[in-house]
Amino acid sequence: MSASKARYEPLASEDCGTEGGGHTYWTKHKSRIMVGVGTAGVIFVVAVVAVITGFVRGQGQQNDYSHEKDSTYWHNVAQSELEAALRDRQRGVAKNVILFLGDGMGPTTVTAGRILAGQIKGKHGEETVLSFDRFPYTGLSRTYNVNSQVTDSAASGTAYLTGVKTNQGMLGLTAKASRGHCNTTHQAEVHSILRWSLDAGKSGGVVTTTRITHATPAASYSHSADRDWESDARIPVEQRACVDIASQLIYNNTDISVILGGGRASFYPRDYVDEHADADQATRYLRREDGKNLIQDWQDNKKNQEKSYRYVYDRSGLESVDAAHTDYLLGLFNQGHMMYEKQRNETKEPSLAEMTAKAIQILKKNENGFFLLVEGGRIDHGHHSTQASLALHDVVAFADAVEKATQLTSPSDTLIVVTADHSHAFAFSGYASRGNDILGINMVGEKLSLGSDNKTYTTLLYGNGPGFLVNRENVTLQDTHDPLYRSQAAVPLASETHGGEDVAIYAKGPQSFLYSGVHEQNYIPMVMAYASCVGPYGGSAQKKCARNEAVVTHAGPQQNTKQNVSDSGAETLASLAVLILCSAVSATTR
């Protein structure tokens, strides 16, 4: 039957009921839909109906949640997620790999950040989907290290970048070394996925909102018996046979194409006048004692090699960089850490998303591909201060950076992984009503929630930290949205601690399905190496990589296999079209 002669019964609301969900109509008219529309037609129908549905639902219903009382809505939400989960696992080789690291972004932080992202947009918040929430594969990472139940960012960074777990406080070294002892580092060095990628002819970059010599970024390029040895001034005199982290970055890693973050003070001598210094940052203790200006040395190195390069120190400088004609970029936007997103001076400092975009634009010029590490580092710092507002606004900025990377790359050749190094002693408490202010006082409806001491409390609390008070305050009159407000804590500590629970892994792109399940943290870079055929899985390595995968086909003629896949795809799309039509009918009848 031709499309012009096909006759269908109108789609009635009963066909889309709780028990039907479009199933009744689909069963009755499946063959006609398949013949009359075809795969291309279904794609068109899906696109058109999706637009119509969005339009109908958007009319005055942005903040109307009445549809959530309809069981069909929840069945359709689940069906949509099921359709995504049933898609074929994506194999192939990852030309590019991007690792997004939310420092301290444990499960509770993700949930609270998600709600805040929605509430910023005027929604309840709980239903909000962060950019990486849409990634098809998720798993869990076990974060303990060799000598500590709860890890720090140096040991964890070594694990998820080099594939080797180590001791607390050490970078790029095995647990054979001892923290703070330079003479124990001999033959204990291990290399990272960044170095593996560079050695394979790919481009590499490191982007962070912390000092570029801080634990997470440093784990990608340095080998240090102590994470605190960021400049020579920080190394005890008796241990100075070891090279400081800033020097390792500039002199031992000249092939890193993009370096963006904070931490200028570790790169110039004590007597250097930083004309762009932030007077509020006390960073003199980081300044160098060897008299070297590493920023100038970096520029001289690129000039001598006749490379196209730029050094920038503010947002306008970054914006002016012509990615097409720049192969090397060094950007140090503060003498210490960059500012929290909530407090960021937009005329001076770029956002994490802006730095990520510029890095990708430069790195993607390499036809061999690239590896990029992007850290949202100040999430962790906000938690250490029990200042939840600062931490969570940085989660939102971090999610924006992930979204930007998704827009600038293709899932067909780019593996994107989002994870955390550790969690925090951060709690989501009480029985607040839906849409309750995530940074505010816990309330059920219009009623304030009270503790057994008859005092109010916020939904977000800490197990320990500087928010502790001997006599707990009633927070009713507190401005809990003030970025400097410290959430209450149960145990007094000058700095709140990390948490030891597993953290999430989110992944999309080639071989991303390998992250499903519960894994040791050091598993993370090994999958990246396997997917991109570098390091232990590259060149002359005996281990096979994704490029060596056998193509598995079903028995029977190849033509029939392709036809089956085509028919299956058409059927899935047609079914989805009916599902979306049901959603439209449901929306118009409310």
Do 340 and 483 meet the contact criterion of CB atoms below 8 Å apart?
yes
Nearest-angstrom CA–CA distance, 456 and 149: 34
The DSSP result for 386-398, as a single string, is: T-HHHHHHHHHHH
The DSSP result for 133-175, as a single string, is: GG-SEEEEEE---SS-SS--HHHHHHHHHHS----TT-BSB-T
Choose the catalytic residue: 131, 153, 197, 532.
Answer: 153
**Chain centroid to CA 138:** 12
**Would you give the DSSP letter of residue 183?**
G
**Is position 153 annotated as part of the catalytic site?**
yes
Output the six-digit token pair for 418. Answer: 């989002």
Q: Which parts are annotated binding residues for Mg(2+)?
A: 103, 214, 216, 375
Pick the closest to residue 463 from 435, 429, 415 (CA basis): 429
45, 74, 362, 537, 548 from 413: Cα distances, Å:
29, 34, 17, 17, 16
Q: Which parts are annotated binding residues for Zn(2+)?
A: 103, 380, 384, 421-422, 498
Pick the closest to residue 227 from 262, 177, 176 (CA basis): 177
Name the strands in the sheet holding 460-465, side by side, starting at the edge strand that comes first in the sequence. Answer: 426-428, 460-465, 489-492
- 145-163 in b/e form (b: 16+ CB < 10 A) is bbbeebbbbbbbbbbbbbb
Residue 520 β-bridge partners: 142
Output the six-digit token pair for 330. Answer: 């060094």
- Three-state DSSP at 203 gives strand
Output the six-digit token pair for 554. Answer: 């079903």
- Nearest 5°: CA angle at 217, between 215 and 219? 65
Instruction: Tell me the catalytic residues.
Output: 153
